[in-house]
């Protein structure tokens, strides 16, 4: 098991800037699982962080090493939940959560690497492996502890069996058209109005039917940027807005109402991701504007409560925030039970590459529809991956390369590994 601290100097162009993250250096705490099998296959996984957060995140991943070394690869790949349970159940590390924050994200990176390895060994892209898996086995991959008051294993099995009907037709449609996406590329807070207009028009020309703007730093600026974006895309294209947790509950309601005349589709992360009742109050206060959250929701238990409290209209899973594929299966099942559409968070480093697999599984074998469902898309850093996402006419093309699309080019790791990669070594020497 190898770990790499990979950082990209994105803060220099203000890519990724929002109301809470003015100087993001997009980073990946990256893990590679190697085996002694003659097939030479590796499991790659990572979690997304920002700059110095990666110091802590990489150390947390390394702390899981004893659970990986010497493990039987065939058994691991046949039952990734066995690894997930061992990692979540490590009592000395569990104290740091439980099941939240840095340690849980580390578990997610390692669990996702195991799924990448399992899919590569099966010769399948992960979405297809999941979509065709036996529903009974899928249920065995979910930890129902703390969920049983909202979702039982029997209900989950029923949803998966029902969801399977029409799989072949949907798979054909997915391969033909892909899965709808929306783009955040025009909307970063640090961009000029001219750049916003240019990128918003480009998004429509590229086939996207939804864009997203960062908001929450200054209301007058937000009104002007929203008008600018609306003028660029017209009335038929959806514009979502994202406050990145900037507001108190009351502020969130007032600010969103102030923008409501320009018809925002959803308000994303209006307040703290831990504030379940706060989100419920915002939702009541800003309807018919929808409330979306999830990229910082720490585990399936908080998602359960958000759903039980009627606190969100749009559920935004993140492939690398919770405990990996196993926990995201639980969250997708919860969303299906409550009838809430899942529109994943992506962007960052490699999050688009990962989460497309989960949405495609959701469509093929659970929700059965892409209506009102879109995967976030941000157009940067894809070139560092060996199987980058392919966007065609505003849709994610279904990846056919075996695995979880998590593998980075060795040359990118050699250049951007911190602090000894070639980029950072030169950069740090130049600043001395
Ligand atoms: Mg967001």
Q: How far is the CA of 322 from the centre of ligand 1 (A)?
A: 16
The predicted-structure confidence for 219-238, as pLDDT tens digits, reads as follows 999 999 999 999 999 999 99
pLDDT for res 15: 67
193-21-421 Cα angle (round to 5): 105
Q: How far apart are CA 148 and CA 55, in angstroms?
A: 36
pLDDT for res 190: 84
The predicted-structure confidence for 383-416, as pLDDT tens digits, reads as follows 999 999 999 999 999 999 999 999 999 999 999 9
Q: How far apart are CA 223 and CA 266, in angstroms?
A: 15
Q: How far is the CA of 276 from the centre of ligand 1 (A)?
A: 17
C-alpha distance from residue 431 to each of 56, 119, 425, 427 (Å): 24, 43, 10, 6
Listed by start position, the domains of the chain span 167-410
Q: How far is the CA of 18 from the centre of ligand 1 (A)?
A: 9
The predicted-structure confidence for 134-177, as pLDDT tens digits, reads as follows 999 999 999 999 999 999 999 999 999 999 999 999 999 999 99
Phi and psi at 64, nearest 5°, equal: -90, -5
Q: How far is the CA of 242 from the centre of ligand 1 (A)?
A: 6
The predicted-structure confidence for 293-309, as pLDDT tens digits, reads as follows 999 999 999 999 999 99
Mean pLDDT of 330-339: 98
Where would I find the beta strands (DSSP E) of 280-394? 290-293, 314-315, 375-377, 391-392
- Residue 432 pLDDT greater than 70, yes or no: no
Neighbours of ion ligand 1 (CB under 5 A): 242, 268
Q: How far is the CA of 123 from the centre of ligand 1 (A)?
A: 33
pLDDT for res 107: 98
If you classify domain 167-410 with CATH, what class do you get?
Answer: alpha beta
Closest CA to 164 of 366, 398, 371: 366
Q: Which of these is catalytic: 4, 44, 104, 214?
A: 214
Q: How far is the CA of 67 from the centre of ligand 1 (A)?
A: 33
- Residue 24 pLDDT greater than 90, yes or no: no
Q: Which of these is catalytic: 304, 345, 357, 395?
A: 345
Confidence of residue 16 (pLDDT cuts 50, 70, 90): low
CA-CA-CA-CA torsion sign (71, 76, 79, 84): positive
- Whether 18 and 188 have beta carbons less than 8 Å apart is answered as yes
Q: How far apart are CA 82 and CA 118, in angstroms?
A: 13
> CB-based contacts of 254: which residues, under 8 Å, 6+ apart?
none
Q: How far is the CA of 63 from the centre of ligand 1 (A)?
A: 29
**Least confident range of 10-24, 261-275, 350-364:** 10-24
Rounded to two decimals, the pTM is 0.97
In what helix (H) or strand (E) does residue 84 lie, and over which residues does it extend?
helix 80-88
pLDDT for res 12: 82
The predicted-structure confidence for 57-87, as pLDDT tens digits, reads as follows 999 999 999 999 999 999 999 999 999 999 9
Active site residue 195: no
Active site residue 395: no
């Amino acid at each position: 098991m190898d770990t790499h601290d990979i950082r990209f100097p994105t803060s220099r162009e203000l890519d990724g800037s929002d109301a809470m993250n003015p100087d993001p250096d997009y980073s990946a705490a990256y893990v590679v699982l190697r085996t002694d099998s003659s097939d030479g296959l590796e499991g790659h996984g990572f979690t997304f962080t920002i700059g110095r957060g990666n110091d802590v995140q990489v150390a947390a991943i390394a702390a899981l090493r004893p659970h990986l070394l010497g493990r039987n690869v065939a058994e691991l790949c046949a039952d990734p939940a066995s690894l997930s349970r061992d990692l979540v159940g490590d009592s000395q590390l569990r104290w740091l959560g439980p099941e939240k924050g840095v340690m849980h994200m580390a578990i997610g990176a390692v669990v996702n690497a195991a799924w990448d390895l399992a899919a590569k060994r099966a010769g399948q892209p992960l979405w297809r492996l999941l979509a065709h898996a036996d529903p009974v086995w899928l249920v065995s991959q979910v930890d129902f502890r703390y969920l049983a008051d909202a979702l039982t294993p029997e209900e989950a099995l029923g949803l998966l069996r029902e969801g399977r009907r029409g799989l072949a037709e949907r798979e054909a449609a997915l391969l033909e058209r892909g899965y709808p996406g929306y783009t955040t590329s025009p909307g970063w807070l640090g961009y000029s109005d001219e750049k916003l207009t240019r990128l918003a028009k480009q998004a429509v020309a590229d086939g996207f039917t939804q864009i997203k703007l960062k908001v929450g730093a200054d209301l007058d600026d937000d009104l002007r940027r929203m008008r600018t974006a609306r003028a660029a895309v017209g009335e038929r294209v959806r514009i979502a807005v994202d406050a990145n947790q900037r507001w108190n509950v009351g502020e969130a309601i007032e600010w969103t109402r102030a923008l409501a005349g320009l018809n925002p589709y959803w308000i994303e992360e209006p307040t703290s991701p831990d504030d379940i009742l706060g989100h419920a109050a915002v939702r009541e206060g800003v309807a018919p504007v929808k409330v979306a959250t999830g990229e910082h929701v720490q585990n399936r238990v908080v998602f359960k409560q958000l759903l039980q409290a009627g606190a969100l209209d749009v559920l935004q899973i993140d492939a690398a925030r919770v405990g990996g594929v196993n926990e995201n299966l639980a969250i997708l099942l919860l969303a299906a039970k409550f009838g809430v559409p899942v529109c994943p968070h992506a962007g960052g480093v490699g999050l688009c590459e990962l989460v497309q697999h989960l949405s495609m599984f959701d469509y093929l074998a659970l929700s059965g529809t892409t209506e009102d469902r879109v995967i976030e898309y941000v157009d940067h850093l894809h070139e560092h991956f060996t199987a980058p996402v392919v966007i065609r006419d505003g849709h994610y093309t279904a990846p056919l390369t075996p695995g979880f699309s998590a593998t980075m080019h060795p040359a990118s790791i050699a250049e951007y590994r911190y602090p000894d990669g070639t980029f950072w070594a030169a950069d740090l020497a130049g600043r001395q």
